[in-house]
Amino acid sequence: MGIMYDLGIRLLGLAIFLGGLFHQKTRKRWKLQQAWKDLLPHGPVDLWMHCASLGEFDQGLPLLWEYRKTFPEARILVSFFSPSGYDHYAKRHHCADLVCVMPLDTPKNARYFIQHTQPKAAVFMKYEFWLNFISALDTAQVPCYSVAAVFRKKQVLFSFYGGVFRQGLRRVTQFFVQNEASLTLLKSIGIEQVTVVGDPRFDNVLLQKAQRSIRPTTSESMEKLRGICHNKRVLVVGSSWEKEEELVHECLEQLDFEILLIAPHNVDAAHVESLEFLMGEDCHRLSQLERYSHERVIIIDSIGLLQELYSLGTLAIVGGGFRGQLHNILEPAVYGLPIMFGPKFEKFPEAQGFLDAGIAVSFHDGPSLLKGIEFFMKSIENHQYKTLAYIDAHQGATKKIMAFLVNTDGHSVVPAN
C-alpha cells in the first residue's frame, strides 16, 4: 500500500496513544488496540463483518440476520474499531457468534488478522475502507464487499492525490451503494463492480420495530411514561445537543404539544442538571417518575430508550443537525413521526430524501422551527401516513445484497459443509 497511507496509519496510532494520556475514551481505545490479539477469536469463520461502531452495526444487522436465516450453522464474526461499539454491541438483539477489536490498518496486522480468523467472506460497512486489509483479503482470495456505501465528490478518493485509494478500492469484490450518485462517481474512476441497493437501515428499523413488538420493555418507568403519553400530542426531541435544546426552550410556550420528551445526547449529571435549569419548573426526570405531578417536559436521563420513546411520539426533532452529525432519522420515521432537524445534513443522503418526500423539515432558528411544526401539525395524520409509506417503500436492500452474495458465481459466501 502507499507509503503516505501507511505513514498516516502509524500517525493515527501515535495520536491514539497521546490522546489516551489526557482523555479517558481515547485511553480505552488505546488499551483495546494493545490487546487486540488477545481478543481475536480463532477461525475459520464463514462471514466477517467490520463496523466502525454501533451505528454501522445497526446498519449491518439485517444482513447478518438474513445470512443466519439462510445458513443457520454459519460462524459469524463482527469487528469494531470504536470502543463504544465493542462495549455496547451486546445491547442489540444480534446473531453474531464472535466479536473482536479491529487493529490499526497496517500490512502486518492485516495478514495476522486474516490468517488467524480465516474468513470465507468479508463485509465492510459504509465508510470503512481499510486498504491494507482489502489488499490482504485480495491476496488470500477472500471476497470483500462494501455495504451501504455512500460517496461524495469531495472525498479524497476522487481528488488528484487519491490514487492510492482508487487503487485499493478496485480490489473490492463488489460495492453495494445507497444511491445512483455513488454509482456514477465510482464509475467515473474506473470502478465498475457497483450495485445500487438502497440503505439497509430501512430494513433494520423495521426489523427492530418487529422485534420490539415481540419483546416489549417492561420497566416500571417506561410503563408509567407510556400511560402519561397515551392519547396526547407528544414532541420527542431525540439525541439533542445544546442548540436543539436552546431552540426548544426558546419556543416552549408556543409549542402545541401536551408532553415534551427530551432525550439528550449527553446524559451525564452536569448536563442533565443544566437542561433541567433551562427548561424551568415544569420539568421532570424519567428516573424520578414516582414523584411525577403532571409536568409538561420530561427529561430522559438514561440511554438505550430512544426507539421506544419515538413509539410514544407525534412528531420528532432529531439532534446533531447543527453539528454535521445528524442522528438516525429513520428510528422515529418507522413509527410514522415526521422529522425536524438542523441545517447541516449534507453528509446524510437519507435526510435529503426525507425533505424531498415532504416528511421532514430543516430548521435553523426558532421561527423556522415553529413554522415547520405548524406545517406538520395542520395535517398530522396525513404526514404520519406518508412517513410510514416512505419507510415501507424503501425497504429491501438486504434481500438484494443477499441474493447477489448467494447466487453470483465465484463468490464464496456460502459456508462450506
Confidence of residue 411 (pLDDT cuts 50, 70, 90): low
How large is the average pLDDT for residues 315-322?
A: 98
Sequence ranges of the chain with CATH classification 3.40.50.2000: 210-393
Give me 143's grid cell: 471476497
pLDDT on residue 162: 85
278 burial level (CB within 10 Å; 0-12, 13-18, 19+): middle
Cell 488467524, residue located: 116
Which range, of 102-106, 185-189, 243-247, averages the lowest pLDDT? Answer: 102-106
With contact defined as beta carbons under 8 Å apart, do 110 and 145 qualify?
A: no
Provide the pairing of β-strand 360-362 with 174-177: unpaired
Whether residue 177 has pLDDT greater than 70: yes
Whether residue 100 has pLDDT greater than 70: yes
Whether residue 244 has pLDDT greater than 70: yes
Whether residue 176 has pLDDT greater than 70: yes
pTM of the prediction? 0.86
pLDDT on residue 217: 63
- Distances in Å between the alpha carbon of 375 and those of 217, 310, 330, 340, 415? 33, 20, 20, 11, 52
| Rounded Cα–Cα distance for residues 333 and 395 (Å) | 13
Higher model confidence: residue 221 or residue 49? 49
Sequence ranges of the chain with CATH classification 3.40.50.11720: 3-198+396-407
Whether residue 16 has pLDDT greater than 80: no
Architecture field, domain 3-198+396-407:
3-Layer(aba) Sandwich (3.40)
Q: What CATH superfamily classification does 210-393 receive? A: Glycogen Phosphorylase B; (3.40.50.2000)
Higher model confidence: residue 191 or residue 302? 191
Q: How large a percentage of the chain has pLDDT more than 90? A: 73
Higher model confidence: residue 68 or residue 18? 68
